[in-house]
Chains A and B, each alone.
Chain A
Amino acid sequence: MFNKQKRPFWQLSSVFAVIVVLVLALSWSNPSEKVSQMDASMADMMSQELLGSATVPDLFNPGTMDSPEALSGNGEHAGHHQQAGKLYAIHLITTALLVFALPVILAGALFLAIVWPKPVKRRNSK
C-alpha cells in the first residue's frame, strides 16, 4: 500500500485531509442551527415523502403529485411573477443551453455507441 511509486497520491491525500479538518473545525466553531432538522439528503427526503406512494404513471403525469406548498400557492415561484434580474437571466441562458444541448448529446452518444467498437479493434490489431 505504501510503496514508493504511490507516494504522490498520499501526499495529495494529506493535503485534502488537512483541508477537510480545517473546514470541519471552522463549521463547528460557528454552529448553524438552521440546518439542524436536515439529516436526510434531499433525495432521501423526497423519496420518503413522495416516492413511497407514487406509481409508475405518476412519473409521466405532472401535477398529480403536487406538494402542499405548490397547491397552496406558496411554492418556489409564488409571489414574484415578474422575475427580472441577473439571476433569472442566468437561469434562462443555462436552461436554454441545457435544452439545446441535450438532444445533440444523446444523438452523439448513440452514434459513438454504434461506431466506437470497430476502430478500437483496428487499433489493437496494429
Chain B
Amino acid sequence: MKFDFILHWLWALVFSILALSGIAMAGAKYGWVMQYDIATADIVHRLAAAIYVLLTLIVIIYEMIRILRRDQTRKPWIVFGPSGYGLFTFITTLIFIITGAVIWLFMDSNHAATAFTLWIHEKLTYLAAASVIWHIYMKTHALKWPKKKARRGR
C-alpha cells in the first residue's frame, strides 16, 4: 500500500481524536462528546497531540526529501501541499501546533499568553472541523466501495 495513502488515514484518525477530545474540553455545551470526562479528554488530547506533532514532522521531512530529489510524481493523498486543501491543512496545522505548544508549556506560568493562544486554538477548531466536513463532501467518491472503476484520481 502507498505511504501517502496510509498517512492520510492515520492523519484523519488522529485529527478526529484531537477534534473530539478538544471539543469535549471546550465546555459544557459540547462536553457530552466525552461524557463530561474532562480529565480523560485532556490526557487523550495531549497523547494524540504528540502523535500529531510526530506525523507533521514526518510529512514535512518526506516533502523536503521529495523536493531535494526533484521527485515530480504526484501524491494526491499527501496531507500538505502548496495549494487547495493541502495548503489549508498545512497552515492550520502549524497554528494548532504553535498555539498548542504555548498552552502546553506555559499554562501554569503565563496566564495571559495561555488565554490568548487558547482562544485562537479553540476558534480555529471550529473552522477546521467545518472545513473537514466540506473536504469529505467533495471527496465523497473515495467512500464508494470500488466496483467497476478501482482507479481513483492519481
A: residues with CB less than 8 A from B are 5-9, 11-12, 23-24, 26-27, 32, 34-36, 38-47, 49-51, 54, 58-67, 70, 75-77, 87, 90-91, 93-95, 97-99, 101-102, 104-106, 108-109, 111-112, 115-117, 119-120, 122-123, 126
Q: Which residue of B lies closest to A109 (CB)?
A: B94
Q: Which residue of B lies closest to A60 (CB)?
A: B113
Contact with A along B81-120 (1 / 0, CB 8 A): 0110000001000100110010011111111111110110
Main secondary structure of the interface of A (DSSP, over half): helix
| Known A9-B136, A101-B54: A43·B26 in contact at CB below 8 Å | yes
A and B contact pairs by CB, cutoff 8 A, 16 listed: A6-B140, A7-B140, A27-B36, A32-B36, A35-B31, A35-B36, A38-B28, A40-B27, A43-B118, A49-B115, A50-B115, A59-B113, A64-B112, A95-B104, A104-B60, A117-B82
From A42, A75, A98, give the contact of B27 (CB < 8 A): A42
Pair A115/B67 contact, Cβ less than 8 Å: yes
From A38, A63, A91, A122, give the contact of B110 (CB < 8 A): A63
Pair A105/B36 contact, Cβ less than 8 Å: no
B15 contacts chain A at the CB level, 8 A cutoff: no
Minimum distance in angstroms from A96 CB to a CB of chain B: 10
